[in-house]
Amino acid sequence: MATTLTSMQGITKRFPGTLANDGIDLEIAPGVVHALLGENGAGKSTLMNILSGRYRPDAGEILIGGTPVRFHSPRDALRAGIGMVHQHFLLVANQTVAENVALGHKTPRTILCWSRIEDEVRRLSEAYRLPLDPRARIDELSLGQQQRVEILKLLYRQADILILDEPTAVLTPGEIDELFATLRRIAREGRSVIFITHKLEEVMEIADRITILRRGRRVADLTPADVENRRELARLMVGREVVLRVDRTPVAPGETVLELRSCSGQGDRGQRAFQRVSFAVRRGEIFAIVGVAGNGQRDLVAAITGSQRLSGGQLLVFGKPHGAGGPPPMDRIAYIPEDRAGTGSLPGLDLTDNLLLTTYPSFCRRGVFRREAARRWAEAQLDQFHVVAPSLTASARQLSGGNLQKLILARELSKGPDLIIAEQPTHGLDIGATMDVWDELLRQRARAGILLISGDLREALSLSDRIAVIFRGQLMGVFSTDDEDAIAEIGPMMAGVVQAS
């Protein structure tokens, strides 16, 4: 067991376009459950990936017991006693628990006597009260059980520091309690547990120490005793958001284009994604749903656009019920997906082909393309939306993120839609492209109803007329963006501290 202090000093890490970690200091004491708190994009995962050997810092040092160490791979870190359980487990799905635990371990060297290994695994799982059947296949286990395997892997290798990245995201409340018990047990032995999260109530429950990151910087390092209430934590985490001056001319809202009545739906793993969501979007307004990623937004949008079914409630698009699977009338709906390169575009085809993806039928006459007309239309679109590209024949792959997004906007908005669903539309874009996208959305507001899904509070507040916070699949409150008191509560709402009013 380690009795040494591990510290990270002045860690800086840059990725193209962002400064993920900016001179962060962190000290990890043995026997402590240390929470690393922050919003999405605050830099928590990056920092821990550096500690666990997956990334290398651009500047800064890691010291174990005062001695600087350099990790070239996760294996180096493991050898030094530091291991990480990622959000996406690194398990071999069709192999057993025992096989996964044994993978990469030094002994036994050649012949694997499974019964012996299984016994060891069983012994370890009983000692830490992580009940697991060593013979069970990973893909037959629940996510909570799989997580136990990941933790067991680290314990099998006698890790001194265990890092868990958003571990409760995939757990039921009962499993969360079990996990916390296990983590306390591990810490009691003198090991350290680092717990990455954005959920405040968990932090208050399990953490012995709390470090808060915001936009790549460390903003606080304290113990639960130092914090008066969770509200304060939330403010530290989210900060005071500056609303950008954006011209929003008042528009009288028209008829309802999208309405959800008590809708519930499941995610792709069968877990409950969102429950009893109700809201309405009217023509002439921007309605924003803001929340930390992973709180059900993606599945909600999938249900609205028809790629997933609802498990309950009623979905009305332009007044007509939908939700039995199958797309709603897409010729009146513009969908700007989060996944630009994936569903949104055709990377290897040229810009004209991309623009035509959802509009090509109108350029075809009896099977033949009116190529010239299409090209002229494409040029006009690119012009109108200020898409900067090497040439018309360039492939979509060559566009920068911002220009690709503008291309998708051009394509979708050329339909003259009545309902626009924009999913994280400015994610990863620079300020210039962001303003362009915002301008366009505001322009569309006059004739369409816009549903904006965003994790960026500033964006939501600047653009929308009404805003709702989503947390754990439920809407925490719907209010107008003129309501200043309510606005102040948004941060805590996003962190699940405050209930719906």
Partner 1 sequence: MRLTLERRLVPSQRAVWAGQTVAVLLAFAMGAAVLRLTGADPLAAYAVMAEGALGSLYNLSEVVVKAIPLMLCGLAVAVAARIQIWNIGGEGQLVLGGIGAAGVALFLSPHLPSAIVLPLMLAAGFLAGGLWALIPGFLRARLEVNEILTTLMLNYVAIFWLEHLYFGPWRDPMGMGFPGTAMFPDVAWLQRLPGTRIHLGLCFALLAALLLHWILSRTRWGYEIRVIGENPRAARYAGMRIDRHILWVMLVSGGLAGVAGMAEVSGIHYRLQQGLAVGYGYTGIIVGWLGRLHPGGILVVSLFIAGLLVGGDQLQAVMHLPSSVGLVLEGTLLFFVLGSDFLSRYRLRWRKEDPWTPRA
Partner 2 sequence: MDAESLTFILSIAIRSSAAILFAAIGEVFTERSGVLNLGVEGMMLMGALSGFVAAHASHSLALGLLAAMAAGGALALVHGFFTITLRANQVVCGLALTILGIGLSSFLGRPIIGTVGMRFTPWPIPLLQDIPVLGPALFQQVPPIYAGYLLVPAAWLFLFHTRPGLNLRSVGENPQAADAAGIPVNLIRYGWTAFGGVMAGLGGAYLSLAYTPGWKENMSAGQGWIAIAMVIFALWNPWRAALGALLFGAVNALQFTFEVRQITLIPSYILRMLPYLFTVAILVIITRSKGIRRRAAAPAALGLPFEREGF
Residues that bind partner 1 (CB under 8 A): 15-16, 55-56, 58, 72, 307, 327, 330, 342-349, 353, 356-358, 360-361, 364, 367-369, 371, 395, 397-398
Which SS3 state, helix, strand or coil, does residue 123 take? helix
Which SS3 state, helix, strand or coil, does residue 60 take? strand
CA-to-CA distance for 335 and 298, rounded, in angstroms?
Answer: 13
CA-to-CA distance for 146 and 126, rounded, in angstroms?
Answer: 16
CA-to-CA distance for 182 and 99, rounded, in angstroms?
Answer: 22
Out of partner 1, partner 2, none, what residue 91 binds, judged by CB under 5 to 8 A for its kind, is partner 2
Interaction mask 152-181, partner 2, x per CB under 8 A: ------------------------------
71 binds partner 2 (CB under 8 A): no
Considering only 13, 35, 44, 99, the residue that binds partner 2 (CB under 8 A) is: 99
146 binds partner 2 (CB under 8 A): no
Out of partner 2, partner 1, none, what residue 111 binds, judged by CB under 5 to 8 A for its kind, is partner 2
What's the length of the chain? 501
| Residues 161 and 6 sit within 8 Å (Cβ to Cβ) | yes
Q: In the range 343-402, which residues lie near partner 2 by CB under 8 A?
A: none
Out of partner 1, partner 2, none, what residue 367 binds, judged by CB under 5 to 8 A for its kind, is partner 1
Considering only 1, 10, 61, 75, the residue that binds partner 2 (CB under 8 A) is: 75
Considering only 59, 61, 70, 103, the residue that binds partner 2 (CB under 8 A) is: 103
Considering only 16, 66, 68, 109, the residue that binds partner 2 (CB under 8 A) is: 109
104 binds partner 2 (CB under 8 A): yes
| Smaller CB separation from partner 2, 93 or 127 | 93
Q: What are phi and psi of 87, to 5 degrees?
A: -65, -40
Out of partner 1, partner 2, none, what residue 99 binds, judged by CB under 5 to 8 A for its kind, is partner 2
| Smaller CB separation from partner 2, 100 or 444 | 100
Q: Which of 191, 190, 193, 170 is nearest to 180 (CA)?
A: 193
Out of partner 1, partner 2, none, what residue 327 binds, judged by CB under 5 to 8 A for its kind, is partner 1
Strands (E), 243-303: 256-266, 272-282, 286-290
- Looking at 74-82, 247-255, 331-339, 435-443, which segment touches partner 2 (CB under 8 A)? 74-82
| Smaller CB separation from partner 2, 104 or 319 | 104
CA-to-CA distance for 434 and 429, rounded, in angstroms?
Answer: 6
Q: Token pair of 154, please? A: 């680290």
108 binds partner 2 (CB under 8 A): yes
Q: Using alpha carbons only, give the angle 378, 380, 383 rounded to the nearest 5 degrees.
A: 110
CA-to-CA distance for 392 and 489, rounded, in angstroms?
Answer: 47
CA-to-CA distance for 282 and 449, rounded, in angstroms?
Answer: 5
Out of partner 2, partner 1, none, what residue 110 binds, judged by CB under 5 to 8 A for its kind, is partner 2
CB of residue 364 to partner 1, shortest distance in Å: 4
CA-to-CA distance for 270 and 273, rounded, in angstroms?
Answer: 8
Considering only 1, 59, 92, 127, the residue that binds partner 2 (CB under 8 A) is: 92
CA-to-CA distance for 82 and 59, rounded, in angstroms?
Answer: 20
Q: In the range 11-50, which residues lie near partner 2 by CB under 8 A?
A: 49
| Smaller CB separation from partner 2, 106 or 366 | 106
CA-to-CA distance for 95 and 474, rounded, in angstroms?
Answer: 36
What's the chain's Rg over C-alpha atoms? 25
Element (H, E) at 276: strand 272-282
| Smaller CB separation from partner 1, 14 or 215 | 14
| Residues 445 and 434 sit within 8 Å (Cβ to Cβ) | no
| Contacts with partner 2, residue ranges (CB under 8 A) | 49, 54-56, 73-75, 78, 90-95, 99-100, 102-104, 108-114
